């Protein structure tokens, strides 16, 4: 199983509240039928590819009747998919773990539960879940605190991740999509597509131009004694830094980092991915080490934001129009019947849906 590629990033205005029961129940039913139809027609791997595409995921949210521009599309659509496919995992060939808030922290345990039934080692999947979260919260510091993490995987070990971060200051949420296909490295340009609007400078330790910084940061963490790192940080706090920096040095607290530096020094990580994976290594650690690397050792990380474009589509709040419950129920009925008929060998309705796609691409 190869490491992951991040397939996209999406920015959405931060909306509070939750889905009304009447809508969520329909979303659950329709998302189940859509999942069945895709797996029947194109296979489980294609389902993962589509979930990892931020445009397709946003379109799915629109079809299910959610807001085109709301942060809630992520948590609600993932919740509807997880609930809608419950009990069908073996037939569909994919399993869903994680979710919002406290549920996201249950991801490793839920992966392990599914893997026990599959008689497979959960550790590679748990590692993938942990590293994708670490990259988007620690290696890529863009001002968004992760609060949602959904991990979708197959019995064969392929997986996709949909996770979202919140920035309460800008009142925006940012969604990150991953897919375990074809890329060699978690920590060097893991994204294959960009789909969002950026919000200023960020610390991007996974950019290609950050390779030198990644190497030096790892060397500093493994070889420099903790006391020396603390002394360097104290010196940096006295400097007036350029405006392009991604944090105020006053935000750094050397005395709090001494224990973490001792941990990295004792463990001596071989590369940046190993460093990132160490327990306790969080945003402050990476920020501190990158500052030292840049200002003391002359190697700069990237400040390029990997999120530059935005997109749209819509539903729940009456835009472009209120959800038509009668039509929604009819859509569930038609799709469910078409899938059942196709399984029995009668493909007329599925082919009719296919023809509709060719007429309305």
Per residue in 300-321, pLDDT (tens digit) is 776 655 433 223 223 455 544 4
Look at 83 and 247; give whichever has higher pLDDT. Answer: 83
pLDDT band at 343 (very low <50, low <70, confident <90, very high): confident
Q: 3-12, 88-97, 137-146: lowest mean pLDDT where? A: 3-12
Mean pLDDT value across residues 319-324: 53
On average, the pLDDT of the chain sits at 78
Three-state SS string over the chain comes to CCCCEEEEEEEEECCCCCCCHHHHHHHHHHHHHHHHHHHHHHCHHHHHHHHCCHHHHHHHHHHCCCCCCCCHHHHHHHHHHHHHCCCCHHHHCEEEEEEEHHHHHHHHHHHHHHHHHHCCCCHHHHHHHHHHHHHHHHHEECCCEEEEEEEEEECCCCEEEEEEEEECCCCEEEEEEEECCCCCCCCCCCECCCCCCCCCCCEECCCHHHHHHHHHHHHHHHHCCHHHHHHHHHHHCCCCCCCCCCCCHHHCCHHHHHHHHHHHHHHCCCCHHHHHHCCCCCHHHHHHHHHHHHHCCCCCCECCCCCCCCCCCCCCCCCCCCCCHHHHHHHHHHHHHHHHHHHCCCCHHHHHHHHHHHHCC
pLDDT band at 361 (very low <50, low <70, confident <90, very high): very low
Query: Would you state the pLDDT for residue 354?
Result: 61
Is pLDDT of 211 > 70?
yes
Mean pLDDT value across residues 57-77: 76
Query: Would you state the pLDDT for residue 19?
Result: 75
Look at 289 and 90; give whichever has higher pLDDT. Answer: 90
Q: Under 8 Å CB-to-CB from 100, ≥6 apart: which residues? A: 75, 78, 79, 147, 148
Query: Would you state the pLDDT for residue 194?
Result: 37
Tell me the per-residue pLDDT of 242-267, one tens digit each, with 9 for 90 and over: 444 444 455 566 777 888 888 888 88
Look at 346 and 339; give whichever has higher pLDDT. Answer: 339
Domain extents for the chain? Answer: 5-200, 208-295, 325-359
Query: Would you state the pLDDT for residue 1?
Result: 44
Query: Would you state the pLDDT for residue 298?
Result: 63
Is pLDDT of 60 > 80?
yes
The pTM (predicted TM-score) of the whole model is 0.78
Q: 83-92, 111-120, 129-138, 334-343: lowest mean pLDDT where? A: 334-343
Tell me the per-residue pLDDT of 108-122, one tens digit each, with 9 for 90 and over: 999 999 999 999 999
């Amino acid at each position: 199983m190869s490491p992951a590629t991040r397939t996209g990033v999406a920015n959405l205005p931060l909306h509070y509240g939750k889905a009304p029961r009447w809508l969520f129940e329909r979303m659950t039913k329709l998302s189940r039928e859509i999942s069945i139809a895709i797996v029947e027609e194109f296979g489980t791997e294609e389902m993962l590819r589509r979930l990892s595409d931020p445009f397709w995921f946003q379109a799915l949210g629109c079809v299910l009747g959610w807001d085109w521009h709301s942060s809630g599309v992520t948590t609600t659509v993932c919740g509807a998919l997880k609930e809608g496919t419950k009990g069908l995992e073996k037939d569909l060939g994919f399993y869903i773990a994680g979710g919002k808030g406290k549920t996201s922290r249950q991801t490793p345990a839920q992966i392990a539960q599914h893997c026990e039934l599959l008689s497979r080692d959960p550790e590679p999947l748990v590692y993938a879940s942990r590293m994708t979260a670490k990259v988007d919260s620690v290696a890529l510091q863009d001002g968004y605190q992760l609060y949602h993490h959904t991990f979708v995987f197959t019995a064969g070990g392929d997986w996709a991740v949909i996770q979202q971060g919140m920035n309460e200051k800008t009142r925006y949420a940012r969604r990150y999509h991953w897919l375990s296909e074809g890329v060699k490295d978690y920590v060097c340009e893991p994204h294959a597509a960009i789909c969002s609007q950026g919000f200023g400078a960020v610390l991007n330790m996974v950019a290609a131009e950050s390779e030198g910084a990644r190497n030096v940061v790892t060397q500093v963490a493994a070889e420099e004694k903790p006391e020396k790192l603390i002394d360097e940080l104290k010196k940096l706090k006295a400097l007036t830094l350029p405006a392009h920096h991604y944090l105020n040095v006053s935000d750094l607290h050397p005395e709090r980092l001494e224990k973490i530096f001792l941990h990295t020094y004792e463990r001596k990580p071989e590369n940046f991915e190993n460093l990132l994976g160490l327990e306790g290594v969080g945003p402050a650690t990476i920020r501190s080490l990158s500052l030292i690397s840049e200002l003391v050792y002359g190697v700069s990380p990237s400040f390029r934001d990997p999120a530059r474009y935005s997109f749209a589509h819509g539903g729940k709040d009456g835009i472009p129009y209120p959800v038509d419950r009668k039509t929604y129920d009819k859509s569930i009925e038609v799709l469910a019947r078409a899938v059942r008929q196709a399984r029995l060998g009668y493909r007329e309705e599925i082919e009719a849906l296919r023809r509709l796609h060719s007429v309305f691409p």
